A = this chain, B = another copy of it.
Amino acid sequence: MATTITSQTTFPSHSLSNSFHTHFAPSFKISLASKQKPYPRLRVSNALIEPDGGRLVNLVVEESQRNRKRREALSMPRIQLSKIDVEWVHVLSEGWASPLSGFMRETEFLQTLHFNSLRLHDGSVVNMSVPIVLAIDDEQKHLIGESRDVALFDSQGNPVAILKDVEIYKHPKEERVARTWGTTAPGLPYAEEAITHAGNWLIGGDLEVIEAIKYNDGLDRFRLSPAELREEFTRRNADAVFAFQLRNPVHNGHALLMTDTRKRLLEMGYKNPILLLHPLGGFTKADDVPLNWRMRQHEKVLEDGVLDPETTVVSIFPSPMHYAGPTEVQWHAKARINAGANFYIVGRDPAGMGHPTEKRDLYDADHGKKVLSMAPGLERLNILPFRVAAYDKTRGKMAFFDPSRPQDFLFISGTKMRTLARNKESPPDGFMCPGGWEVLVEYYDSLVPSSEGRTPEAVPV
């Protein structure tokens, strides 16, 4: 089994150590095994927090139906999916957005834009803060005509899914951007990539995904579905699951926070809190550290014993990144409920970035956690605000900032870290485990020839 996996590995410079497998996905065989049979449509673990809407959606068709669906798809009008579209099909197919059963129709889209939530037929409310929509252009709309169902193809011409009972409605791009990001300034990475040049129509419908989405990048085995994560948490007898969303390298400040959170949960009486260390794996902006490098860095952090593999599950969250701050952090939290997490760690300025055209952060650093704590449909989730960690010079390690002795603390900014890594200098001892730091140095090294004038940011989660 392990051999099979290693053969898929496409990490940039060296193959993965055994400890990597051990640390990251100890239940890997179980998970893979579970992929051999289709998941039951209804999947609720009593021990874990209930998924939104009461059941975890699974939109992948049963294996026995696969060929029939593929043939059906070939006879339908076609939509070619972009890379980000495929990531959303992936997200939807595994139920991260439960109870959503496909790309949004207009009523769902409007509720998301205006209320960041969806009201279900029974009157209950689930959170849904970012539009999960599929854009088509005038020509595609014309080709679809009155067809009830359409087929979604990837860029290689393979049928990926069928979208049923479709509804085509206007794509109000400016309004979508304004209500999702709170700005319409040019330069929002997701908007530039997936909205500004996208079609003037949106098409919603119910998805039937022909086969589980795979990327064949050596990292698929870390892409555990919500159902697989729930199995893993159950297998480990977790009585609390705390999720940590990140899209950047882990430093010892993060590690301190995660360790401290576990301690606090134990003090609260939980017997076995499990950390879901959950790097985002979909679209990220050009100056973020790419997923494969981040995974190598996370590997080193676990190898170096900074986090305890026994109580940590590392997995990839397949969603693309919006960088939509308070709006997006709700999505990040909601998706983790569906994966079984009942605690969510939220930091300073989650999912934030610099304003694209002004010299300031796009969002108030505190709005994310405030909005998250009040968000409709997230009442069941326990929000754990991030405590600020900095380098304590007196102790030679990352520690929670003590406002009574600010002179003892060093805040290592993204710029500072980048400059150090670029110049192959070392950060203060204890800032990041040496193995993790080496990965970063290597990454920035690999950029030098082509990155004149670029300023990758690497510190914040």
Contacts and interface: CB of A to CB of B under 8 A. Distances in A.
Nearest to A370: B110
A362 to B, nearest CB: 8
Nearest to A362: B175
Interface in A173-223: 174-175, 178-179, 181-185
Interface string A104-126: 00110011011111010001010
Interface stretch (A2-10, A75-83, A371-379, A423-431): A371-379
A110 B368 CA distance: 10
A35 interface: no
Nearest to A181: B178
A380 interface: no
Given A116-B115, A371-B114, A125 B182 contact: no
Given A178-B182, A181-B178, A172 B111 contact: no
Given A114-B326, A178-B178, 18 more contacts: A107-B370, A107-B374, A110-B367, A110-B370, A110-B371, A113-B182, A114-B375, A115-B117, A115-B375, A117-B376, A174-B182, A174-B183, A175-B182, A178-B184, A179-B179, A179-B182, A184-B184, A184-B185
B116 A374 contact: no
29 contacts: A106-B370, A107-B370, A110-B326, A110-B367, A110-B370, A114-B116, A114-B129, A114-B326, A114-B327, A114-B375, A115-B115, A115-B116, A115-B117, A115-B374, A117-B376, A119-B376, A123-B379, A125-B376, A172-B182, A174-B182, A175-B182, A178-B181, A178-B183, A178-B184, A179-B179, A179-B182, A183-B184, A184-B185, A376-B376
Interface of A: 106-107, 110-111, 113-117, 119, 123, 125, 129, 170, 172, 174-175, 178-179, 181-185, 326-327, 363-364, 367, 370-371, 374-376, 379
A339 B438 CA distance: 67
Contacts of A375: 114-115
A327 B114 CA distance: 8
Identical chains in the assembly? 2
Contacts of A106: 370
A375 B184 CA distance: 24
Contacts of A183: 174-175, 178, 184
A370 B114 CA distance: 11
Contacts of A374: 107, 110-111, 115, 119
A90 to B, nearest CB: 27
- For the complex of A and B, the 10 pairs showing the least CB-CB separation, nearest first, are A175-B182, A178-B178, A178-B182, A184-B184, A179-B182, A114-B371, A111-B374, A178-B183, A110-B371, A114-B116
Contact of A179 (B119, B123, B178): B178
